Amino acid sequence: MGGVGKTTLAQLVYDDDRVKRHFQIKAWTCVSDDFDVFRVSKSILNSIASDQCKDKDDLNLLQEKLKKQLSGNKFLLVLDDVWNENYNYWSILSCPFGAGAPGSKIVVTTRNLDVAKRMGADPEYPLKRLSDDDCLCVLTQISLGATDFTRHQSLKEVGEQIVKKCGGLPLAAKTLGGLLRGRDDPRDWEFVLKTDIWNLRDSDILPALRVSYHFLPSQLKQCFAYCSLFPKDYEFQDEEIILLWTAEGFLDQEYNGRKMEDLGREFVRELHSRSLFQQSRKDASRVLMHDLINDLARWAAGEQYFRMEDTLAGENRQKFSQSLRHFSYICGRYDGDTRLEFICDVQHLRTFLPVNLSDYRHNYLAWSVLQMLLNHLPRLRVFSLRGYCNIFNLPNEIGNLKHLRCLNLSRTRIQILPESINSLYNLHTILLEGCHQLKKLFKDMGNLTKLRHLRNSDAYLLEEMPKGFGKMTCLLTLGRFAVGKDSGSGLRELKSLTHLQGRLKISKLENVKDVGDASEAQLNNKVNLEALSLEWSARSERCEFEADVLRMLKSHRDVQELTITGYGGTKFPSWLGDSSFSKLARLELRRCMSTSLPSVGQLPFLKELDISGMDGVASVGSEFYGNSCSVPFPLLETLSFSDMREWEEWIPCGAGQEVDEVFPKLRKLSLVKCRKLRGTLPKRLLLLETLVIRTVSSSLLMKRWLSPLTTSRRRCSYESGTSTLYL
């Protein structure tokens, strides 16, 4: 039975402190209708080791890695929402599990008792419906933030009547509680109780869910219905759905003076508060819908939406309604004419949205299908080719889509974007994430004056931004800005992009020819940037020039993350350790040529510091801590040094100066490939939990340093050379 609380109960067990202490490894994965052994195995491995293996299509290698991770460890695995009764699938999936230690457990949630029996579940725990009293507790907790009606006696009687309509299903009580959240007027509760929607018998949708949908504001109804395009258990990012809503015009109308993106976030929060969305367990930025909520969305969507779920090639001819406006489908291994040509008959289609259930499978789209789509669907507003690995270029016919607002080419192998895109004046969003082979954008990009989002952060081969890039003054998010040479955009074009927010990477800084360009970029005025990365991709002999450039690239003091890569100056500018950076929480310095470290001990909110590949540094001393700082690194929790080939000594803080305490919050210290480091490590690390030592000089005095840390604490051991210690 759906909505009875199977997943919620499993989550309570999974998150219990006693369970956490009992098992060495825990993993959770949602199986759903499509029991893809490869996908599920990959999900389990990612839960355990965040593995990003490149064996994308080799199940045997994948399972060998999983077996190695589980070997000798007592593990807890939750397989949520299993439907498939095929014993062979389960037999293949379970091959690595035998490597676990005795006492390992597998928990399965399913609506089908036969599934549990096929998988050998013992014992079985069939969940019953909640009593009316328990349902009432759920309703009052969510709607009133209380366990009973002590402070709302006027709502008690009507609340008890509403609960009887929930049928003992906690999901029904949750959604109705979300509907009534913050409402303490009995008339509102009476209105919900007496609505005629309870009496409709035109579908299998739970009446309580229909009522919850019925009372949504009209603008929110269409946004919710749009989510019917996503398959069950699919986890989508907040920003992903907001961009789609915006592209379809659902957020165009001014709503209490708020921007479209802000309104979209408000809608996501509202759907979440009504229990129509729920947060992903794996990623806080992702949401999903309960299966029954997904059914509700499909019911609400009507004939304007269609989701084709069959992944088999060669399926029967599909007849689409001419009122269809929004179309999605689950990507197959090869999507050709037989499967997709008939969608071209729907001339008023606005959304073409392939959905990838796995980022580790290769998907292919027939070139003939791509050309048909571009020639026959001129009214598209959303066009996605995400995940099709055979897309190296686009036909010029992409310019036919004059109404296009969102173009998603993420995870394709696109190399050069066609010039015809510059005529798509309504374009709002271009998504190029995971386009590792992208080299060039297109000329006259400045024509796209309505463009608000260009997501290209990991387009590592991007050579330059086209000239006139700064004309796109509406741009809100920009993943990567590659500084151009003679024919490309220089840094000064960033000046007019005053609304940039989120994360920004500036690469190819070796192409800067004039320090004035760096000053004109006015990064210190980009108040909404949260993370900034500055990258020099090639070595240069202009050390002092690079120092001047970096000095001019001071970010706004509210930046939260800062990364500097390949910087060739001999010293860092003084602004890098300025205590006015009151929100800087993460700092990363990679392959920089400076002979000393910046005075970052003065940064008041720095929590993570990662320093790697700085071959010019031989000694770390007082300049690192900050000469006038009484408590250096007051909030630092993670400190990592790696590939420091010439680093020989770490001078303790306090030598020649008075300090109260150093690293008072440090929990993890990592030293990797610091072969010349000798002497002792910092003392009095009272909160240290993890120490990683790999490829470090054997003369590092560890045992004497470790003894005060391990006294009356958890046991640890140390082996010279390579080890990881959990204190």
Alpha-carbon distance of 295 to 533, in angstroms, equals: 43
| Res 711: pLDDT | 43
Interacting residues of 162 by C-beta distance below 8 A, sequence separation 6+: 139, 176, 189, 192, 193
Structure tokens at 606: 């720095």
Mean pLDDT of 482-508: 91
**Residues 49-74: tens digit of each pLDDT:** 765 555 456 788 888 888 888 888 89
Structure tokens belonging to residue 246: 């915006």
Q: Give percent of the chain with pLDDT exceeding 90.
A: 53
Quick one: how many helices (H) and strands (E) in the chain? 21, 28
Q: Does residue 150 sit in helix, strand or coil?
A: coil
Strand order in the sheet with 638-642: 480-482, 501-507, 528-535, 561-565, 586-590, 608-612, 638-642, 668-674, 690-696, 722-726
Question: What's the whole-number mean pLDDT along residues 300-322?
Answer: 70
Strand spans (E) along 49-112: 75-82, 105-108
Copy the structure tokens of residue 613: 């590949």
| Least-confidence region, from 202-206, 353-357, 669-673 | 202-206
What does the mean pLDDT of the chain come to? Answer: 86
Q: What is the CA radius of gyration of the chain?
A: 29
Q: Identify the bridge partners of residue 505 per DSSP, sorted by sequence position.
A: 480, 533
> Six-digit token pair at 280?
């992903």
pLDDT tens profile 405-451: 999 999 999 999 999 999 999 999 999 999 999 999 998 898 999 99
Residue 422, by phi and psi: left (phi above 0), alpha (psi -120 to 50) or beta? Answer: alpha
Q: Which residue has the tokens 């402070």?
A: 151
Predicted confidence at residue 538, as pLDDT, reads 80
Tokens standing for residue 124: 């079985």
pLDDT computed for residue 83 by the predictor: 78
> Which residue is listed with tokens 């819908």?
289
Please provide the DSSP assignment of 572-614 as one string: --GGGG-TT-TT--EEEEES---SS---GGG-TT--EEEEE--
Q: Where are the beta strands (DSSP E) in 458-526?
A: 477-478, 480-482, 501-507
The answer to whether the CB of 147 falls within 8 A of the CB of 140 is yes
Q: How many CA atoms lie within 13 A of 638 on its CB side?
A: 10
Neighbours of 681 (CB within 10 A): 18
pTM, two decimal places = 0.87
- Under DSSP, the state recorded for 30 is E
Q: According to the model, what pLDDT value does residue 700 have? A: 61
Residue 713, both tokens = 């604490």
Q: How far apart are CA 631 and CA 122, in angstroms?
A: 56
Closest CA relative to residue 511, chosen from 460, 480, 551, 546:
546
**Per-residue pLDDT for 724 more than 80?**
no
**Confidence band for 705, pLDDT divided at 50, 70 and 90:** low
The answer to whether 325 and 349 have CB atoms below 8 angstroms apart is: yes
Give the pLDDT of residue 702: 59
Confidence category of residue 147, pLDDT binned at 50, 70, 90: confident
Higher pLDDT, 492 or 709: 492
pLDDT recorded at residue 712:
37
User: Cα dist. 295→3, 180, 289, 424 in Å?
Assistant: 12, 22, 9, 36
Q: What is the pLDDT of residue 710?
A: 47
Mean of pLDDT values over 311-316? 42
Residue that has been written with the tokens 């700082």 in this structure: 629
3-state secondary structure 165-200: CCCCCHHHHHHHHHHCCCCCCHHHHHHHHHCHHHHC
